[in-house]
Amino acid sequence: MSPSRPNVLFLLNDHQAYYGHGLRGGAAPARPCFDRLASGGVVFDRAYSVSPLCTPVRRSMITGLMPHNHGFLTLYLKENAQERDHGILYDLLAARGYDLYYFGKWHTGPGTARDYGCKGFCHPDFGNPYITPEYAQYVKERELPPASFDLEHVLLEPVSPDRPRPGPGYRCEAPHLHPHVTGVMETPAETHESFFLANLAVDALREIAARPRRAPFCMSVHFDGPHAPYLAAPE
């Protein structure tokens, strides 16, 4: 691999504010994992989002265009963009000999990262990794139960019979991750979607490392959290 073509590992959390902010003027929250990552890389502490919404920001990241140029101005509506943005990131990398991998949430426009030549796991739109065949295979191979949660709060009016109820045994089985609930995991932390995505990415990195000859790679891992629903392991 040429030094001019470094491997790229891109990690994206969803709905996360700049982690340096304090809480009501007090001390910033403990962030040992972020600090460990930052100590071995570069911190952009004066970077600002191009939009408060998910899809416009994600589209800007892969096109280098502002939302009013690429046309994705809301979570779902494409106002004026071409079907395929000129110079999209994955096209540029593929043209330079990169192997492309993508794991996790897309929500960047139509289709998924696979439509741009990426290998891996990617669910379309907002999605729900817990209901995918890949997640079912993941927990089966590791002899784990599907993730379940003890719901503490349901932040919805009781308007439908399928509305989640507070209490144990909740499983995320809706077409989208239900954003209006909070709770604590009853199953091992490894059953959480973040562990699922991270382990898929680690498995792919190990497979790449074992190859005797390999092209440079770009691997994107897009986690669903800390965007709601707020469902975390006890630890």
Instruction: Tell me the CB-side half-sphere exposure of residue 63, using CA atoms within 13 A.
Output: 23
Same domain, 72 and 160: no
Distance from C-alpha of 114 to C-alpha of 123, rounded to nearest angstrom:
10
> pLDDT higher for 163 or 106?
106
Burial of 138 (0-12, 13-18, 19+ CB in 10 A): buried
Same domain, 34 and 74: no
Same domain, 186 and 165: yes
Number of domains in the chain: 2
Could you tell me the pLDDT band of residue 22, with boundaries at 50, 70 and 90?
low
Residue 2 lies in a domain: no
What rounded mean pLDDT belongs to the chain? 85
Same domain, 135 and 157: yes
Residue 181 lies in a domain: yes
| Structural domain of 80 | 49-87
Distance from C-alpha of 127 to C-alpha of 191, rounded to nearest angstrom:
17
Predicted confidence at residue 150, as pLDDT, reads 96
Residue 154 lies in a domain: yes
**Using one digit for the tens of pLDDT, what is the confidence trace for 121-148?**
998 888 899 999 999 999 999 999 999 9
Could you tell me the pLDDT band of residue 39, with boundaries at 50, 70 and 90?
confident
Same domain, 62 and 146: no
